[in-house]
Amino acid sequence: MRFIMLGTGQDGGVPHVGCTCSTCEGAREGSIPKRLVSSAAIVDAGSGRAWLIDASPDLPVQLERVRDALGAPKRSGIPLSGVLLTHIHMGHYWGLGHLGKEGMMPRGLPVRGPPRTARFLNDNRPFKDMMEIGALDVRPVHPGEDLVLDEGVSFRPVAVPHRDDFSDTVAWLVTGPKWKVLYAPDMDLVEPSFVSLVSRVDMAVVDGTFYTRHEIPGSMYTVPHPPVVETMEVLRPAL
């Protein structure tokens, strides 16, 4: 069983639509690698099963990477066992649109997220429609509860501070047979309880949206994310 990254980009990926910076232009020209939107997967080649954390707009390409990681034949279906959502922001749930009747159309695919996230999907189309036709099975999981979707792996949502425009936000603590991984792609700040949790896992994937506070014009208070240089200092005692 392995934990793999499927993307490490911000919600818009690289190149970012409408951006003409040297990085995005380089990605368009091919001199700099393109970067898919942040997402991760837990894959078990032995059972042929896989779970996604977040459904990004790049879901079709990322599912091909999941199939490659499982060693599944090219003409086989996508062996997706479930999706875990961190919150309702563009880069983390828009990929669910590919799972409707116009797309992949699974049968009763488990989709789990914190309570307000699950409520948003249940109350809004097209996701409500996907549940009504039986493509998705959306249910809430409260922070601190252990979710066991299959033997050998468990998932626990951990509440983190983030601008809750439409939903609550969680990180996911994933416990495999021989490792623990904390996946926290979006947060406003690193709290002491988060530092303590990082000290107890084998690997932590943490919000790296901005490297410093001077990376964008204007105030970061409108799009709060902990800068990488500050996060590393805060987490140093846990490393």
In this prediction, residue 53 carries a pLDDT of 95
Contact by Cβ (8 Å): 152, 44? yes
Q: What is the pLDDT of residue 84?
A: 96
Q: How far apart are CA 19 and CA 111, in angstroms?
A: 33
pLDDT of residue 195: 82
227 in Cβ contact with 214 (< 8 Å): no
| pLDDT tens-place string over residues 42-78 | 998 888 889 999 999 999 999 989 988 888 776 666 6
For domain 2-185, the question of CATH label 1.10.357.10 is answered with: no
- Comparing CA positions, the residue from 225, 94, 230, 233 lying closest to residue 161 is 225
The size of the chain, in residues, is 239
- The domains of the chain are located at 2-185
Average pLDDT, the chain: 85
Give me the half-sphere count of Cα atoms (radius 13 Å) on the Cβ side of residue 216.
13
Low-confidence residues of the chain, pLDDT below 70? 74-78, 162-164, 189, 212-224
CA atoms 46, 155, 89, 101: torsion sign: positive
pLDDT of residue 93: 83
